[in-house]
Structure 1
Amino acid sequence: MSIDWAVVLATVAGPVLAVQVQKFIERSTSKRQRRERIFEAIMTNRATRLSSDYIQALNQIDLEFRARSDKPVVDAWRSLFGELSNPPPDQTDANANTAWNDRCNERLIALLVAMGKVLGRVHSDEEIRRGFYYPRGRVEAEQAQLAVLIGLQRVLDGSSPLNVQNAGPGPSDLQLSVLKKIAAAYDDSGALKVIFANAPDKSKMN
Structure 2
Amino acid sequence: MAIADWLMIIAVLVGPIIAVQLTRYRDNLKERKERKERKLAIFKVLMATRAYNVSWTHVEALNRIDLEFDHNNRKEKAVIAAWKEYIE
Higher helix share: 2
Question: Is it true that 1:38 corresponds to 2:38 in the alignment?
Answer: no
Counterpart of 1:47 in 2: which secondary structure?
A: coil
Q: CA deviation at 1:20?
A: 1.1
Distance 1:48 1:9 in 2: 60
Q: CA deviation at 1:6?
A: 4.2
Instruction: Extract unaligned runs of 5+ from structure 2.
Output: none
In our comparison, the structure showing a higher alpha carbon Rg is 1
Alignment of 1:118-197 (within 5 A): none
Partner deviation per Cα, 1:169-194 (whole Å, 9 max, x = no partner): xxxxxxxxxxxxxxxxxxxxxxxxxx
Counterpart of 1:3 in 2: which secondary structure?
A: helix
1:3 to 3, 6, 15: 6
Partner deviation per Cα, 1:26-85 (whole Å, 9 max, x = no partner): 111111111010010001100111111100000110111114221111111111111xxx
The code of the aligned residue for 2:31 comes to R
User: Where does residue 57 of structure 2 map in the other structure?
Assistant: 53
Counterpart of 2:6 in 1: which secondary structure?
A: coil
Question: Is it true that 1:68 corresponds to 2:73 in the alignment?
Answer: yes
- TM-score with structure 2 setting the length: 0.81
Distance 1:49 1:75 in 2: 19
Distance 2:18 2:86 in 1: 48
- TM-score with structure 1 setting the length: 0.37
Instruction: Extract unaligned runs of 5+ from structure 1.
Output: 83-206
User: Where does residue 116 of structure 1 map in the other structure?
Assistant: none
- State the structure with bigger RCO (CA 8 A, min sep 6), 1 or 2: 2
User: Where does residue 84 of structure 2 map in the other structure?
Assistant: 78
The code of the aligned residue for 2:6 comes to I
Q: Spell out structure 1 runs of 4+ moving beyond 4 A.
A: none
Q: Percent identity?
A: 28
